[in-house]
Chains A and B, each alone.
Chain A
Amino acid sequence: MRTDTKFIQGIKAGLPIALGYFPIAIAFGALAVQAQLSWIEATLMSVIVFAGASQFVGVSMLLAGAGAAQIITTTLFLNMRHLIMSLTVNDQMRHFPQSWKNLLSFGITDETFALLTLGGTGESQGKEWTPYYVAGLMGTAYLGWVSGTAVGGLGASFIPPEITTAMTVGLYGLFIGLLVPPARKFLSYGVIALVSMILNTTLGLFLDSGWAIVLATVLAAGLGIVLVKEEA
């Protein structure tokens, strides 16, 4: 298939993420301004960090009076789950040129990862990945995140908090919408997801949420070694 068609397919696939990101990025931009960042600094953070959870935590810590070293350390641990996700994504990008892999690895978030690995029906599955498809998907999500931050930073004083709560549930809708169809088709995947939820809830009692997610993911996926059949 032609390059530009793949790129447009990627953009289409990324649209739900961009729509989900936009209002949350607005909330982030507004919060960052509250924490005494200028809207330009808030937008710069979205441009070069591009990690929602880390950015929210970073700015919240700033509000609570934490120092740069503490925030950066927390960010590193919070992002360890992306190491696992990147492992899965890069396993599917083995055939890409190295420079593409370096660039596209920057765009791995919980949501782009979810859509790349579980989204679509065959269209986006492993063997058909091309650099332009992945770039279109990630680029769309990225634009939604960055533009939302700028809007939120500039319009900080106009946004009612109820709206952002309602929008946050949208990203959970995305996760659930992506997880349910394959989990229904292959019961073992549903079992793995369920076990992961239980593990995460239990581990969350003892660990901070970042580590609980990493551990629950690593352990529950281990079940797949026994449960998953070759062809599934």
Chain B
Amino acid sequence: MTVLILIIGMAVVTYIPRLLPALFLDRYKFPTWFQKWLKSIPYAALGALIFPGVLLVEKDQPLLGLAGGLAAFILALLNLHVTLVMAGAITMVIILQLYVF
């Protein structure tokens, strides 16, 4: 029973921040500076999500995550599709796990 309450509680507090902008955004037309800020959010958010999180893929081995991230970076520079970039990062980590760490 407690678990059910926990799950429902988590669901509610997860949905609220996602929903609020859907309910109130319509009433505002944003000034240009705010639109530029909004436009920059994806890049800022991805930057923050990637680093330093990528180092914690394996908590005691920051170099392992770093190597996976660098593999992804190089493949992305070659303009490969994201699926291949993902596969490259995973392959790199598997190889390192097998032979180095």
* A interface list, Cβ under 8 A from B: 15-16, 19-20, 37, 41, 44-45, 48-51, 54-55, 58, 62, 68, 71-72, 75-76, 79-91, 93-94, 98, 101-102, 104-106, 108, 110, 113-114, 117-119, 162, 165-184, 189-190, 192-197, 199-201, 204, 209, 212-213, 216-225, 227-228, 230, 232
Contacts and interface: CB of A to CB of B under 8 A. Distances in A.
A52 to B, nearest CB: 11
A151 B43 CA distance: 33
Contact of A172 (B8, B30, B68, B94): B68
Contacts of B79: 181
Interface residues of B, number: 73
Given A102-B22, A177-B86, A87 B41 contact: yes
A68 B40 contact: no
Contact of A220 (B23, B47, B57, B72): B47
Nearest to B97: A162
Query: Closest 10 CB pairs between A and B?
Result: A224-B40, A177-B85, A196-B47, A173-B89, A193-B47, A180-B76, A177-B82, A173-B86, A169-B68, A197-B51
Nearest to B33: A225
B81 to A, nearest CB: 8
B35 to A, nearest CB: 8
A230 B32 CA distance: 9
Contact of B37 (A20, A209, A222): A222
Contacts, number: 282
26 contacts: A79-B13, A81-B45, A82-B18, A83-B17, A88-B42, A91-B21, A105-B21, A108-B18, A117-B42, A166-B97, A168-B57, A169-B89, A169-B90, A173-B71, A173-B82, A176-B73, A177-B82, A180-B77, A181-B79, A182-B43, A183-B43, A193-B46, A195-B44, A217-B48, A218-B44, A224-B39
